Amino acid sequence: MEKTAKMVIGVIAIVSIIGAAFVVMNTSKNSSNTVVLRTTGATFPQYQIQKWIDIYQQSHPNVKIEYEGGGSGHGQEAFMQGLTQIGRSDPPVSESVWNKLKATGDQPLQFPEVVGAVVVSYNLPGIKDIKLSRDALVGIFIGDIEYWDDPAIADENPGIELPHQKIIVVHRSDSSGTTAIFTTYLSLINETWAKEVGAGKSVDWPTDDVGRGLGGKGNPGVVSTLKQTQYSICYTELSFAIEEKLPVAYLQNADGKYVKPTDEAIQAAVAGVQSNIPSPEEGYKEDLKQLLNAPGENSYPIVAFTHIIVWKNIGGKHYTHEQAVAIKDFLKWVLTEGQKAENLSPGYVGLPQGVAQKGLDAVNSINS
């Protein structure tokens, strides 16, 4: 009896060891089959990217996608250095950066992934729904309009008691695609801004020189600074304003109408323009200005694409086979299922079909 018991115990021990070994081997196999993709850059599409990743990974547990913001400039630089597999930039990459990418011996590909809007938010206790004319908008950010009750603002907002308080301008402190979009728009509508300040991912803000400017890193930093600073104003991406429940201004559009940034107003801007997207192999040729200041009385004036940057992976230079397969599958999903209303975050609208197709063609060209 004692011998039989020992034999049973021995069998159980052996089975346990074999079972444990199987678990370890199986876990190791699952771990080794997990493909990790890093994507870095623009915070303009942050909430949208996070939603896409969450949905996609539910049905693709073998793919782990890590997103880091940091701004469009950071996204371009990290991609160029090979620190990330998918770069993200709001404005198209410049020709000089494009040439540096090509100098690696691989072909970069760039194409839009979604449409968003830059909005103007403000911290005015008890006040919502103010209107800002084009002249008032430029005057505030260039520093010529110093107080909230300036006639340039007050005359367009009868019935609202604006405070006699200095306007604090909050802007991005990092290299930012949101800044590039906003300053490009201001340059389009005002010659003085174009000559004295200009457009770019970073500019010298005139309000800093007079002590009424504050910088924040990324859209999150800008929003945080705005919320902590009474009588301040900022530009940020619409989804951040929605998420943080911030008031947003009605902006005067190209037809002279005051428009609030709604999905319908963003779609009207896209519909009012014939999108001209170059070949993804020449992505630097895309014109950032094409969706800005769109015609149509219902069009919101500061609308733009945000972009994906990937490698064609010539000769398997930048991606392993597993990475390339995962990247192609994820980006195909983004450009098809990801464009459906149920998979879009508040503040974003899907790409026009022709624009999405150019992206799909580019993704299909990635060598795996």
Q: pLDDT tens-digit profile of 238-248?
A: 999 999 999 99
3 state SS of 41: strand
Q: Is the pLDDT of residue 275 over 90?
A: no
Q: Is the pLDDT of residue 257 over 50?
A: yes
Those residues with Cβ within 8 angstroms of residue 220's Cβ, 6 or more apart along the chain or in another chain: 43, 46, 69, 240
Q: Which fold has domain 118-270?
A: D-Maltodextrin-Binding Protein; domain 2 (3.40.190)
| Same fold: 35-114+276-285+306-364 with 118-270 | yes
Would you state the structure tokens that stand for residue 276, as one six-digit string?
Answer: 């001209």
Q: pLDDT tens-digit profile of 132-149?
A: 999 999 999 999 999 999
Q: Is the pLDDT of residue 358 over 60?
A: yes
CB 263 within 8 A of CB 269: no
| Mean pLDDT over the full length of the chain | 91
Q: pLDDT tens-digit profile of 16-35?
A: 433 433 333 333 234 458 99
Q: pLDDT tens-digit profile of 68-100?
A: 988 999 999 999 999 999 999 999 999 999 999
What is the pLDDT confidence band of residue 273, given thresholds at 50, 70 and 90?
confident
Would you state the structure tokens that stand for residue 139, as one six-digit string?
Answer: 């005057």
Going by C-alpha positions, the residue among 240, 311, 259, 244 that lies closest to residue 39 is 311
Residue-level pLDDT at 32: 58
27, containing H or E segment = helix 2-33
Residue-level pLDDT at 276: 85
Q: pLDDT tens-digit profile of 278-333?
A: 999 999 999 999 999 999 999 999 999 999 999 999 999 999 999 999 999 999 99
Those residues with Cβ within 8 angstroms of residue 221's Cβ, 6 or more apart along the chain or in another chain: 172, 173, 215
What is the CATH class of 35-114+276-285+306-364?
Answer: alpha beta
Residue 55, strand partner residues: none
Q: pLDDT tens-digit profile of 154-194?
A: 999 999 999 999 999 999 999 999 999 999 999 999 999 99
3 state SS of 113: strand
33 or 237, which is more confident? Answer: 237
The structural domains of the chain, with segments of one domain joined by +, span 35-114+276-285+306-364, 118-270
What secondary structure does DSSP assign to 272-326, as a single string? Answer: TS------GGGGGG--GGGGTT-SSTT--S-EEEEEEEEE--GGGSS--HHHHHH
Residue-level pLDDT at 8: 39
CA atoms of 269 and 70, how far apart (whole Å): 28
Q: Is the pLDDT of residue 352 over 80?
A: yes
